[in-house]
Chains A and B, each alone.
Chain A
């Protein structure tokens, strides 16, 4: 019986090895194919998690633009939108910044010596905005910001002027 068992073992073992090898190969192929199909999805996810932003610090004044030749006017489309709400005659661009934030990241945009905006991605279409003025937290707010949308943080300034931090979500297209 023992002999028989020994014979049978010796005969079967190559078979088992073959079966094991084919199983190993199948597993390897399946893993590789899963990894292959997963790669583009992960890349797409990472693209979706990306958020391109443009922030512009703008000064609103009733002066003519010619009076401040060093500053350029903001784009006409933006000027039209602001003029629907605000009374200032001229809107001049002080500083402009671009940023890309990804999942669970926060970027700090120093718009001037005294003004800083921190933007964090909450989800696909929402951000958390924190505005600091002279180092002090002025606004802390979760805000919808879809591609193409704009959020304006604004306040009045001395001599009947105003400041605006215009944060736009840049569309990928």
Chain B
């Protein structure tokens, strides 16, 4: 039995062939005992591997687990990354406009904050999101879990 036939048999076992290719392989199996033995051996090997494959189990619900990873990543990534090098022909423009832009941003933030304070004072005052709290919202949205991670305390 050549390598090509062996590969075909393996593909047949893994259910990767088209109906036409399957029929071709079945014809080989009908006439070759060696092919039948090879297929049986491969099948046995596949069963053994499947039965001994460790199945990783999460300690909690997948969404909850992923929310924890996301929160840890967010905690590790710095909030802002400041570029120190300003190289290039337009660097003088950046140097000139950066302070103006920053001042404009500060003024805009003050204006927005003032507007929000008059409009939505309550939400600004009451919501405190601690970094050690993982929020998990169930699918039906009537069930919310706030997990307080003691590792972060």
Contact = CB atoms under 8 A, between A and B. Distances in A.
B146 A152 contact: yes
Contact of B127 (A142, A153, A155): A142
B83 interface: no
A128 B142 contact: no
Interface residues of B, number: 23
B133 A148 contact: no
A78 B108 CA distance: 48
Interface of A: 81, 84-87, 122, 128, 131, 138-144, 146, 148-156
Interface of B: 59-61, 64, 122-123, 126-130, 133, 136, 138, 142-150
Contact of B146 (A87, A148, A151): A151
A114 to B, nearest CB: 14
18 contacts: A85-B61, A85-B145, A138-B148, A139-B146, A139-B148, A140-B126, A140-B130, A141-B127, A141-B129, A141-B133, A143-B146, A149-B142, A150-B143, A150-B144, A151-B144, A152-B143, A153-B148, A155-B149
Contacts of A149: 142-144
Nearest to B128: A140
A155 B148 contact: yes
